Amino acid sequence: MLDEILQHNQQFVKNQRPPQIASAPRKHTAIVTCMDCRLVRMFEDALGLERGDVLELRTAGATISEPEREHQQNDLIRSIAGGVYLLGVREVLVIGHTECGLTKINPISLSASMQALGVDPQRLIEQEGLGSIEKLMQWMGAFHDVHLNVQEVVEVIRKSPYLPRIPVHGLVIDINTGELTVVDRDTRAA
Ligand SMILES: [Zn+2]
């Protein structure tokens, strides 16, 4: 894949000259979404986003895993803080999606997949003091209900002592049609 990318890149650089634009997002917005490959390009099209409009923060599941929620020391909060304090972000959208892979993790297939790649899940659980395969799934950010997960992530961001009081909304995008559903529109006064 690397060679394929490098080859394409040579052509791109030869043929395209993207305009130089500022690094601060034009729409003063940060959007948290999932790393799902089906969102590539479709996500921006469905939301009407152009290069330079918003910060896009992608994590597996558009989530913050449970162990990381408690201490607020997670990378998502750090990135949003950078957006707010360094790049003028004043609004945050958390957008989960239907059919998210993190709703489909089960302990048996996770164990099998790890073992097939030479990682012993049982040894890892002991070594890291996790206690059980469920805790390992929690570490990965597994959840059952995308709407509920979006709501929880919105709450974690709203309550973060590292962030000022700015609107944080929650939505879900249909991975097949691109349709957005609002889960929580932030009506708190800024
Ligand atoms: Zn996903």
Q: Per residue of the chain (190 residues), what is the pLDDT tens digit?
A: 999 999 999 999 999 999 999 999 999 999 999 999 999 999 999 999 999 999 999 999 999 988 888 877 789 999 999 999 999 999 999 999 999 999 998 899 999 999 999 999 999 999 999 999 999 998 889 999 999 999 999 999 999 999 999 999 999 999 999 999 999 999 875 5
User: Is 97 known as a binding-site position?
Assistant: yes
User: Is 100 known as a binding-site position?
Assistant: yes
β-partners of residue 75 are none
Assigned domain for 1 exists: no
Global pTM reads 0.93
CA of 27 to the centre of ligand 1 (A): 24
Q: Which two tokens stand for residue 65?
A: 């895993």
User: Is 37 known as a binding-site position?
Assistant: no
Assigned domain for 136 exists: yes
Same domain, 53 and 127: no
CA of 11 to the centre of ligand 1 (A): 31
Same domain, 31 and 61: yes
CA of 124 to the centre of ligand 1 (A): 25
Q: Which two tokens stand for residue 151?
A: 């709501």
User: Is 75 known as a binding-site position?
Assistant: no
Count of domains in the chain?
2
Secondary structure tally for the chain: helices H, strands E: 8, 5
Assigned domain for 112 exists: yes
Name every residue whose Cβ is closer than 8 Å to that of residue 50 and which is 6 or more positions away in sequence.
Answer: 44
For every residue of 125-158, DSSP letters joined together read HHHTT--SHHHHHHHHT--S-HHHHHHHHHHHHH
Same domain, 125 and 169: no
Same domain, 69 and 157: yes
Same domain, 137 and 148: no
Q: How much is the pLDDT for 45?
A: 98
CA of 103 to the centre of ligand 1 (A): 8
Same domain, 122 and 174: no
Same domain, 165 and 85: yes
Same domain, 136 and 150: no
CA of 59 to the centre of ligand 1 (A): 8
Same domain, 44 and 136: no
Q: Which domain holds residue 93?
A: 27-103+144-184
CA of 62 to the centre of ligand 1 (A): 7
CA of 101 to the centre of ligand 1 (A): 5
CA of 96 to the centre of ligand 1 (A): 7
